[in-house]
Amino acid sequence: MTITYRGTTALITGASSGLGAEFATQIAARGADVVLVARREDRLRQLADKLAREHHVAATVIPLDLGRAGAVADLVRELGDRGTDIRTLVNNAGFGMKGAFVESDADRIAEMVQLNVSTLVALTRALLPQLVAGTGALVNIASNGAYQPCPNMAVYGATKAFVLSFSEALSFETRDTGLTVVAVSPGATKTEFFDVLGQRGYAMASFQTSEQVVTRTLRELDRRDTPPSFVSGRTNAIAAKMAGIVPRRLALAMAGRALG
C-alpha cells in the first residue's frame, strides 16, 4: 500500500530535537502538514517556522509534557477542537535512565513507564480509528534494547520490548487496512538521548545520525512489503540478531558488560 503524505496531517511526538525533528522535516518535505508535540515550545516554533517556510506546509505547535498523566486526553481534545484528522503518527517521545534498578528514583521510573509505554498506547488507541481510515503510517520508536535484557537499563529495555511486541501485533491486526505499522529500533544515534544518558561505554564513531535513521524508515515505508519492525544500521542489526541466537545467559552477560 502506497502511503499518502501530501494533503494529509502527521503528528510527531518528541519533535523538538533529534529523531522527532528529523521525522517532522522529512515528512513535511513529502508534502504533509505536521503537528509538532513536545515540551519545549521555543524549539517547536523554530522548527515549525522553518518547515512552513521551506516546504509550504502547515506546521502546528502543541507544547505538552506527554509524560504527565492526562496529557493524551488534552492532546486529543485539542486536535478535535482544531478539526485535525491525523493520518500518520510517529510515537517518538521517550527517555532512558542508566543505573542499578535498586538505586533508581522511583518517581522517575514511573515517569519513564508512563511516557515510553502508557502514553504511546493511549495516543495510539485514541488516533487509531483515524489512522486506519487512510493510507498513512504508524511509526513507533523501539530500541536495540528491545531484543535483549538490559542490565543497568532494566526498565528502559523492558519498555522498548513492549513497544516492539505491541507494534508488531498492531501491524498484523491492521493488515487489511490502509495503515502501515512499523517499529523502528535505531540503535545508538547522535541525539540528546545520549547526552542525557551519558556516553560512557559507547563508541561515538559508530553512532548513526538522525537523518540516516529517518531516511531508512521512510525507505522501508515506501516498500510494498514493509516489515513490522526493523533495526537500523548493519552493526545494530547483527547485534540484535545475535542476541536472539546465543544462549540467554550469554546474551545477558554480554549486555551487562556493555551497559555496566
190-193: long-range contacts, CB 8 A cutoff, minimum separation 24: 191/17, 191/18, 191/19, 192/17, 192/18, 193/18, 193/95, 193/96
Q: Residue 202 catalytic?
A: no
Enumerate residues 6+ apart whose C-beta is below 8 A from 115: 66, 67, 93, 94, 95
Of 5, 147, 156, 202, the active-site residue reads: 156
Q: Phi, psi at residue 142, to the nearest 5°?
A: -100, -140
C-beta of residue 204 within 8 angstroms of C-beta of residue 159: no
C-alpha to C-alpha distance for 223 and 193, rounded to whole angstroms: 29
Annotated catalytic residues are 156
